[in-house]
Amino acid sequence: MGQSSVFVIRTEYLEGFDDETWSNISSQLSEDPDNEAADWVTVVLPEEMEFTHSDEDILRYALHHIQTRRAIVSEVALHNMGVACISIPIPTSSADTATILIRAETDGNQWLDGSAGPSSRPLTIERPSKFQPSVYKGTTGQYFAEPAGDRSDYYWVTVWFHKDIDHRGIPDSTIMMSAQRKIENGDFTIEDQAMHGIGKKCLSIPIKRDPDTPMPKSHIYDPTHPDLLLARNLMDYWNDQIEARKVTLDQRMIFVDTRRKKVRLADMLDVGEVLMDPWRIL
């Protein structure tokens, strides 16, 4: 363990995780040399918990999953890898898996009832975020936040660029104007998640779902549809910011990146109160 290039996941305790969840977790595993002295008992949190549950509720949820053997025991910490989870560090002297889980349950209960000693190592909770970094960056290099790419209260108007496009040297404003023209020409699709940042060479625009407004249809531009007008106006807004040199595009996120970026909400910029803002953080 530690500096070794080998890590171990105790797969006999993966009961309850579907193939997609485990695939997402295992694809993000890497060494964590800062945690040489501990195994980690981790419970993955469901997305719907969002910010609606207290730390105590989350801890009770985790303890239940540890008790019913639906926790992951690993030699790496998953909370540092963008996985929404709660992790409990256990000294490596607790060698066998059963002992590790018992120790995690004991430590968790101590934290729950407030009896954990002052020298105890804290639990680490990584909550699912309602926001993700957008393709837009401020002058400081910080990303503006946008709704998380898989939120059910948004859908995404997505414009697609040619799969063989070489984006190097293309000005940001040219990309934005191209995206706007694509919307006006009906060259877009309606998606239930953000498609940029996962290797698709596209740009997705988050639109708040309105139960009283039918969603537009892919490849059909209706100049009277309020959501398509909003998408077009948003392109105008961001292009104005780009031309004023207040904003730049992360072109790698649009054209190159194959995995969504993970940025803490506290490190992202709020778009603030602008005319077309459908996703203000606060």
| pLDDT for res 81 | 62
Are residues 107 and 218 both part of a single domain?
no
Does a structural domain hold residue 122?
no
Q: Per-residue pLDDT tens for 253-276? A: 999 998 888 888 888 888 765 544
Are residues 138 and 187 both part of a single domain?
yes
pLDDT at 126 over 70: no
**DSSP tag of 198:** S
Does a structural domain hold residue 170?
yes
Does a structural domain hold residue 275?
no
Are residues 66 and 172 both part of a single domain?
no
Are residues 154 and 242 both part of a single domain?
yes
Q: If you average pLDDT over each of 26-35, 54-63, 143-152, 240-249, which comes out highest?
A: 240-249
Q: Supply the range of the domain harboring residue 180.
A: 131-269
Does a structural domain hold residue 118?
no
Lowest-confidence segment of 22-26, 41-45, 49-53, 111-115 by average pLDDT: 22-26
Are residues 236 and 159 both part of a single domain?
yes
* Mean pLDDT in residue range 114-125: 49
Contact 175, 167 (CB under 8 A): yes
Domain count along the chain: 2
**Comparing C-alpha atoms, which of 70, 66, 3, 5 is closest to residue 37?**
3
Does a structural domain hold residue 159?
yes
Are residues 173 and 215 both part of a single domain?
yes
Does a structural domain hold residue 162?
yes
CB-count burial class (<10 Å; 0-12, 13-18, 19+) for 141: exposed
Are residues 152 and 243 both part of a single domain?
yes
* Mean pLDDT in residue range 222-246: 92
End-to-end Cα distance, the chain: 42
Which helix (H) or strand (E) segment is 146 a member of?
strand 143-147
Are residues 84 and 142 both part of a single domain?
no
Does a structural domain hold residue 119?
no
pTM of the model: 0.56
Does a structural domain hold residue 277?
no
* Mean pLDDT in residue range 208-230: 91
Are residues 55 and 172 both part of a single domain?
no
Are residues 138 and 256 both part of a single domain?
yes
Q: In whole angstroms, what is the distance from residue 62 CA to residue 68 CA? A: 10
Cα–Cα separations (whole angstroms), residue 120 to 65, 102, 116, 124, 130:
22, 16, 6, 12, 31
* Mean pLDDT in residue range 120-146: 77
| pLDDT for res 255 | 95
Are residues 161 and 254 both part of a single domain?
yes
Are residues 109 and 157 both part of a single domain?
no
